[in-house]
Structures are given as structure tokens and as C-alpha cells.
């Protein structure tokens, strides 16, 4: 009995999987299939951008309980990005799909930049300036960078961090209070809150995603020709 089951199982399993994975009859119709493929291609850019933003923000946010290692974060991000580009081209294997994949790649890069700017320095603290100093930092040798002034403030913050800030611009005088944005994991140097904003990257992401979506939704040339003939 055991031998018979072993002989019959592959055929039974193959038949069951074939029935389950077989494309439904209604989806085989050219018109329905074309609508489904175009809908998937239209939704893909937004879905890919949201997935990359969520993964990047969670990987970089200092408030994450157990963020993944850097190598894992990079590999998963690449898999999502490259996979989305391949699917974008496979859903529309023409010039529209080629340019769509290109714009999608740029949109995903802008998404990573926006998530990085928003999540890297997720902590904020109001600190008191204990000391403020400035010094000239000159160039060494001919053709070097011009002389610049480096401003440094010593801070007293809740929890003892951050302890100091450096910037090319004057930040505050001794005794004043300033709001500081910092990385709770202390992997990125702190800065004045609001100095780095993600809005430029967000705008670039929206524009590039919109272009990719339009390219995905734009009818192919045979479809436009059929529409022109039908309208005559």
C-alpha cells in the first residue's frame, strides 16, 4: 500500500497543482488579460516606491527595535528595486516599459534619499549651549580649498547626548537653547533640527513615480491603432 501511494502521489500532486495554477478561463480572453496586465503595470510604480520607502525607513530609523544589518538591508533593497524594474519591463516589453523601468529606478533612488533624510536623525532634543567657539580652518598648499570658519558649540542635553555640534554657520551663543536632531544609534553626526529636509527628495519621488505610472498606463501602438479604427 505504501508503494502504491508513493507511485500515485506524483501524478496526483502534479494534477492538483496544474489545476490550481492554471489560468482561469475568463482571464485568457485577450481583452480581460490586457486590462489586468495594464492595471498591474500601473499599480507597480506606487507599490514599489512604498515598499522601498517602508523598508529603508525601518532599516535606518534609530527607533527600530531590531533593525537589520547593513548588508541585509542593502541586499533586500536591491532585490525589491531590481525585481520591480524587471517586472515593469516584463509587463510592458516595449519602449514604454524600457523608459518606465529607467524612471522607476530614478524614483526608487529618490525614495531612498527621502527615507534616509527623514529616518537617519529621528531623535530630537532641546539643549543648552555651554560654550560657543569659532576658528579659521585654512588650506594647506597651493590650489587647496579656501579658508573657512568652523563654528563649534558644547551642549548640555537631556540624557547627555549629543555633547557638541560643528557647522560652517553660527548656531547659537552661550546660554541659548537650540533644538538638535540626532541619530539615537549614534552612527550619524547630529545637526540643528530642520537643517536637512526630505522635501526635495519627496517631490522628485512623486514626479518620477507619476511619469513611470503614465508610461505604464499609456496604450501601446497596436491598441491605439485599434481604437482609431473603431472610432471611424
Instruction: Dig out the grid coordinates for 151 from the structure.
Output: 563654528
Q: What is the pLDDT of residues 65-83, one digit of tens each?
A: 677 888 888 999 999 999 9
Of 217, 161, 155, 212, the closest CA to residue 185 belongs to 161
Least Cα distance to 121 among 192, 210, 65, 31 occurs for 192
CA distance 177 to 165: 13
* Integer angstrom CA distances of residue 97 from 47, 86, 160, 197: 16, 9, 53, 32
Rounded to an integer, the average pLDDT of 154-164 is: 90
Lowest mean pLDDT among 106-110, 136-140, 151-155: 136-140
Average pLDDT of the chain is 78
Nearest to 81 by CA among 58, 55, 43, 62: 55
More confident residue, 88 or 16: 88
Taking the C-alpha atoms of residue 168 and residue 73, their distance in angstroms, rounded to an integer, is: 33
- Residue in the block written with cell 480581460: 32
Residue 106: all three cell numbers together: 530614478
Bridge partners, residue 124, by sequence: 181
Q: Which helix (H) or strand (E) holds 167?
A: strand 164-167
In the predicted structure, residue 88 carries a pLDDT above the cut 70: yes
Residue 77 is predicted with a pLDDT of 92
Nearest to 163 by CA among 130, 193, 134, 137: 130
- What's the confidence (pLDDT) of residue 20? 55
**Which cell is 231 given?**
472610432
191, 167 Cβ separation under 8 angstroms: yes
C-alpha cell at 194: 530642520
- Of the chain, the percentage scoring pLDDT greater than 90 comes to 24
Amino acid at each position: 500500500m505504501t508503494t502504491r501511494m508513493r507511485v500515485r502521489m506524483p501524478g496526483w500532486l502534479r494534477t492538483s497543482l496544474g489545476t490550481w495554477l492554471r489560468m482561469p478561463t475568463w482571464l485568457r480572453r485577450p481583452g480581460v488579460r490586457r486590462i489586468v496586465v495594464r492595471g498591474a503595470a500601473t499599480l507597480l510604480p506606487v507599490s514599489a516606491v512604498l515598499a522601498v520607502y517602508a523598508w529603508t525607513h525601518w532599516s535606518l530609523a534609530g527607533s527600530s527595535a531590531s533593525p537589520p544589518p547593513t548588508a541585509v538591508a542593502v541586499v533586500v533593497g536591491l532585490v525589491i528595486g531590481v525585481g520591480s524594474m524587471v517586472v515593469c519591463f516584463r509587463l510592458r516589453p516595449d519602449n514604454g516599459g524600457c523608459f518606465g523601468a529607467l524612471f522607476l529606478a530614478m524614483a526608487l533612488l529618490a525614495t531612498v534619499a527621502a527615507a534616509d533624510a527623514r529616518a537617519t536623525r529621528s531623535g530630537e532634543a532641546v539643549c543648552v549651549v555651554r560654550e560657543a567657539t569659532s576658528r579659521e580652518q585654512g588650506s594647506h598648499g597651493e590650489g587647496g580649498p579656501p579658508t573657512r570658519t568652523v563654528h563649534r558649540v558644547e551642549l548640555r542635553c537631556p540624557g547627555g547626548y549629543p555633547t557638541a555640534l560643528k557647522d560652517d554657520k553660527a548656531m547659537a551663543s552661550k546660554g541659548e537653547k537650540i533644538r538638535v536632531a540626532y541619530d539615537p544609534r549614534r552612527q550619524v553626526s547630529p545637526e540643528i533640527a530642520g537643517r536637512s529636509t526630505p522635501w526635495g527628495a519627496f517631490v522628485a519621488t512623486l514626479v518620477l513615480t507619476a511619469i513611470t505610472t503614465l508610461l505604464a498606463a499609456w496604450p501601446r501602438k497596436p491598441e491605439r491603432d485599434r481604437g482609431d479604427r473603431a472610432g471611424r
